Amino acid sequence: MGREFASVGVVGLGTMGAGIVEVFARSGLSVTAVEVSDGALQRGEETLRGSIDRAVKRGKLSADDRDTLLGRVTFAVGLDALHDADLVIEAVPERLDLKQRLFAELDRVCKPEAILATNTSSLSVTEISVATGRPNQVIGMHFFNPAPIMKLVEVVRTVVTAEDVVTDIEALCARLGKVDVTINDRAGFIANALLFGYLNQAVSMVEARYASREDIDAAMKLGCGLPMGPLALMDLIGLDTAYEILDTMYRRGGRDRRHAPVPLIKQMVTAGLLGRKSGRGFYTYEKPGSPVVVPDEFTPRGDAEAGTAARTVAKVGVVGSGTMATGIIEVFARAGFEVVSVTRGAEKSAAVCETLKTSLNKGVVRGKLTEEQRDAAIGRVTWSATLEHLSDVDLVVEAVVEELSVKKALFASLDEICKPGVVLATTTSSLPVIACAVATERPADVVGLHFFNPAPVMGLVEVVRTIRTSDETVATAQAVCQALGKHAVVCADRSGFVVNALLFPYLNDAVKMVEASYSTADDIDHAMKLGCGYPMGPFELLDVVGLDVSLAIQRELYLELREPGFAPAPLLEHLVTAGYLGRKVTRGFRDYSKR
């Protein structure tokens, strides 16, 4: 029989602490909410009341329920008010010395059987626990912000946490309506260890002026379906908080350079640019605490120079016969462009044509386009088995196999066939665009146009400029994307571009967690979906993308960047060698043959 938690205490009533108070009170528990001063207590009570009042306005809570909820909360200054609590959870700032002093005092004040919990997101629960005389009754309960909404709680046990304490806290999480993942005490736990390496890398892109803040955020939202871009998320978290988490994970997590805070973060913290709470971080906000972004000084984007005229593009050639090529043909044809589809023979052309018609028919059935629009799109496509039919197009987009030798040979042929001024674009997702460019006598006209699969659905295109690409070519690529209804993200020619360079190291980090037996694929997927709002967990995504594809991209990133943290996880290599490639072969990190 597990223990009953009749009353709980919460120390620290900032945004997170006030949210945790609300979670407990909503679940019928009596809560003692504690702060260090009358002023801090008043601010915490205002934060709690504001959250509850918003719930009432949205119809999520009745006025009577609000009054009942608030009636369960006792506000107090000083820890002595917690002497009868069955559980105390702290949500004070992320400083180890502060938390250790607090836990030593809680150990003195609280009754001997009380459980003491920390909401730390990165500090060592073990180091906090040894400040007490009851380390076996100390545990981590890492809620996610906003606590009343986010479903995940990371339950963090130390090597000495009693098993009955773990079991009782897991049962409490269920009572609170939360999903718990129970893990050992390790830097960053699951969610932050995966999230902050990704956020840190995104900041390094801004620091290097590789791409703009807007383009990086748009790339990850549109390319991966994330609820927020990494830089907007950094502003929401707070750059000071992010710095402390990264620094802690770097020092405690084996000094992985993925977690070494990018110098720009420390510079911004020193300058007081902390994000939303200070009114300015990577973005500028209407006022401190406001989510409303206002215009500020220009951030370098890598676009064409202002005023550069785009070339006219009316007729487009698409080379290739795979899924991507077919999707690109559909995108251009539906947007009103004349399209020449070039494949290796009449049989492949017929197959691409049939696939295109099937996709367009689905669009009609779903009400996305009319029969007239479908017929017009089909009528704009000319089918060919020879490159010579590209002699009068304005833009060529290649979508052939991802082999550099094949692409270079194709670009050399296009250089001979196409008229002067034609933009030559490669859809490569991992190979160097410059290698295609120098295979021609017109490298200034070569650009990357990395569409995402399925091309008719995904709203993002990465426009990749090499050191030889002209402003006119970039401007033309951007204009074409606009005509297609796609968001163009401009970046330099570097392995992985924006999306893959940020996404696949994150996936690789997740594999390393399973490889180290730190957690399971299921718990890691739960953590990222419920704790960070991701549409898919990393292992779900790996199985969809294909483990072989992920391994190939990760190898390219490692070969170019030579960062030890980017080395492909051995487990990933072993699974690919064994033929566990994901959904396409029914087995990856999960078995799909029985689903």
Same domain? 211 vs 162 = no
DSSP string over 130-194:
TTSS-GGGEEEEEE-SSTTT--EEEEEE-TT--HHHHHHHHHHHHHTTPEEEEEE--TTTTHHHH
Q: Indicate the SS3 state at residue 559.
A: helix
pLDDT of residue 457: 93
Residue 305 lies in a domain: no
- The pLDDT of 305-325, averaged and rounded, is 90
**Backbone angle region of 115, left / alpha / beta, with phi > 0 → left and psi within -120 to 50 → alpha:** beta
User: Does one domain contain both 46 and 116?
Assistant: yes
Measured distance CA(69)–CA(85) in Å, rounded: 18
Read off the CATH number of the domain in which 265 is found.
1.10.1040.10
197 shares a domain with 177: no
Distance, CA of 48 to CA of 46 (rounded, Å)? 5
Position 150 scores a pLDDT of: 92
State the pLDDT confidence band at 592, using cuts at 50, 70 and 90.
confident
Q: Check whether 237 has a pLDDT greater than 70.
A: yes
Indicate whether 43 belongs to any domain. Answer: yes
Q: Give yes or no for residue 31 having a pLDDT over 90.
A: yes
Whether residue 99 lies inside any domain: the answer is: yes
Question: How high is the mean pLDDT of the chain?
Answer: 93
Specify the number of domains making up the chain: 4
Query: Is 595 within the bounds of a domain?
Result: no
Range of the domain at 547: 502-585
Q: Do 288 and 325 fall into the same domain? A: no
Mark which of 137, 158, 184 sits at the end of a domain: 184
pLDDT confidence of residue 565: 85
Structure confidence at residue 427 (pLDDT): 96
**Between the CA of residue 276 and those of 43, 44, 121, 285, what are the distances in Å?**
18, 18, 20, 7
Q: Is residue 309 part of a domain?
A: no
Four-CA torsion 149, 150, 151, 157, nearest 10 degrees: -130
Here the tokens at position 520 are 């399971």
Q: Can you give the pLDDT at residue 595?
A: 55
> Which tens digits make up the pLDDT trace of 439-473?
999 999 999 999 998 999 999 999 999 999 999 99
- The secondary structure of residue 587, as a DSSP letter, is B
What CATH number is associated with residue 452?
3.40.50.720
Q: In this structure, are 369 and 518 located in the same domain?
A: no
Whether a cis peptide bond, with omega within 30° of 0, leads into 432 is no
**Rounded percentage of the chain residues whose pLDDT exceeds 90:** 86
pTM for this model (two decimals) = 0.89
Q: Do 324 and 339 belong to one domain?
A: yes
Active site residues: 121, 142, 154, 192
Same structural domain, 160 and 26: yes
Is there a domain that residue 526 lies in?
Answer: yes
Tell me: do 227 and 331 sit in the same domain: no
**Which pLDDT value is given to residue 564?**
85
Domain check: are 517 and 468 in the same one? no
pLDDT of residue 74 exceeding 60, the answer is: yes
Domain stop point among 154, 184, 214: 184
Does one domain contain both 398 and 355? Answer: yes
How many CB atoms sit inside 10 A of residue 286's CB?
A: 12
Q: Are residues 350 and 335 in the same domain?
A: yes
Report if residue 154 sits inside a domain. yes
Domain ends where: 471, 492, 513? 492
Contact call for residues 446 and 418 (beta carbons, < 8 A) = no
Question: Is position 302 within any domain?
Answer: no
25 with 156, same domain: the answer is: yes
Alpha helices, H only, 34-162: 38-57, 63-71, 96-109, 125-129
Which helix or strand (DSSP H or E) is residue 88 part of?
strand 87-90
